Structure 1
Amino acid sequence: MFTGIVESLGKVESLQSVGGDVRVRIQTDSDMSDVHLGDSIATNGICLTVIAWGDNWYAADVSRESLSRTTLGTWQVGQAVNVEKAMLPTTRFGGHIVSGHVDAVGEITLARQDARSLYFEVTAPREIAKYLAEKGSVTVDGISLTINHLRGNVLSLNLIPHTAERTNISTWKMGSRVNLEVDVLARYIERLLLGDKAAEQPQASKISMDFLAENGFLK
């Protein structure tokens, strides 16, 4: 589990094809002295399992499932990535609950200066729009952010100078693809609303306005 508060800015050191999967090695300024084999480290919002590490690096294997659902398949050696080690029970909870399980890939469709902040608009895939809420939380490339405004599946974000300095957002531009993770609570609420019908529909959600009305959630 993570908080979405980026710990350090890392760099992709190598990408190696291994049996159809990918092994990635990340250079980082994070303190690696407390890392153990099998620990989780969020890298641009993707929960990766440590298989090897040193004083300033770690390596992880990436499955084809992760490659298909995230931006990792397009990473290049030398590119900047956001790094956050898994939270401890004593960690100050400054962001929101982040699992590191990317829901979809979005696209930066607007980027501009807004006073001292940076303003971005991100177009999310339509299928995850129902999990997004104005003033709710979303994780973008591993950064816990508040959705300022929401227009359908387009969300607007403001990032303060401190966030810009500690993350990879200086590399974001029009057309950049970013990893998105919705608030985990939204996903569980959807399943709870289905009740016993959840077991009958393993492929796609049938939550609709009619379903909500029929079950007394709308009047």
Structure 2
Amino acid sequence: MFTGIIQAIGKIKSIELGSFCFQAKKSFFDEVKIGDSIAVNGVCLTTIKIDDNYFKVDISKETLRCTIFSHLGVDSLVNLEKTLRLNQGIDGHLVSGHVDGIVKVVGRSIEGKSIRFKMKTPKNLIKYITKKGSICINGVSLTVNNINDCVLDINIVPYTLKTTTLGELEINSKANLEVDIIARHIERLLYFEKNSYEIYH
């Protein structure tokens, strides 16, 4: 599990045969070992090699299909977060690292020191998103200001712009989206509650 609070900005060092190598500051790798999970732009990936300032992962065709990794190249910047430890607090919200879909930036405007984005969301995911609820965009825990049809209104404050890659998003940029996992579990529970008679009789 993760929290959506980004711990470092990394960079794609190399891409070859489904393996991605990510570079980051040396301090990010404290207590990281081979086999650990790291969220890269919100995608939970398993480390297969670690050095002083980089780590390597394998990315499946399914992950490439469901995320923005197929759109990224060498030197692209990414958001990084190590897994949540049981003795840590949760400053963002519970994030699984399993991307649900891809959003597209359809609006971007400066508001004081902040940036307000409008992001178009896949229709099948909008039911899991609520005004003032939490979502995860490229690994960053964010609050939805408003929803109009399938377009989310999101305000990114200066601190988040400084410590993540979200400020680089422009019109037509795409980003990974994970909806609130609690909403998904509630839907599943309600489904079985509604269909329990047919299932057990």
Range class of TM-score, shorter chain:
over 0.9
1:147 aligns with 2:144: yes
Q: Which amino acid letter does the alignment assign opposite residue 14 of structure 2?
A: S
3-state SS of 1:38 partner: coil
Give me the whole-angstrom Cα distance separating, in 2, the residues matched to 1:33 and 1:194.
Answer: 43
1:25 aligns with 2:27: no
User: Once the two structures are aligned, what percentage of the paired residues are identical?
Assistant: 38
Tell me if the contact between 1:107 and 1:124 (Cα under 8 Å) persists in the aligned partners. yes
Matched pairs, number: 196
Aligned equivalent of 2:11? 11
User: Alpha carbon RMSD of aligned pairs, Å?
Assistant: 1.4
Displaced runs of 4 or more, over 6 A: none
Alignment equivalent of 1:135, drawn from 132, 135, 140? 132
Cα offset for 1:171? Answer: 1.4
Normalization by structure 2: what TM-score? 0.94
Normalization by structure 1: what TM-score? 0.86
Give me the whole-angstrom Cα distance separating, in 1, the residues matched to 2:16 and 2:138.
Answer: 22
**Unaligned regions of 5+ residues in structure 2, if any?**
none
Give me the whole-angstrom Cα distance separating, in 2, the residues matched to 1:28 and 1:172.
Answer: 20
Give me the whole-angstrom Cα distance separating, in 2, the residues matched to 1:27 and 1:119.
Answer: 29
Aligned equivalent of 2:191? 194
Give me the whole-angstrom Cα distance separating, in 2, the residues matched to 1:140 and 1:33.
Answer: 25
Cα offset for 1:170? Answer: 2.4
Q: Deviations over 1:132-171 (max 9, x none)?
A: 0000000000000000001121111111111001111221
Tell me if the contact between 2:40 and 2:78 (Cα under 8 Å) persists in the aligned partners. yes
Cα offset for 1:65? Answer: 1.0
Superposed, 1:205-216 pairs within 5 Å as none
Q: Deviations over 1:4-25 (max 9, x none)?
A: 00001100100111xxxx1000
Cα offset for 1:67? Answer: 0.7
Cα offset for 1:47? Answer: 0.6
Aligned equivalent of 1:37? 34
Aligned equivalent of 2:44? 47
3-state SS of 1:31 partner: helix
3-state SS of 1:190 partner: helix
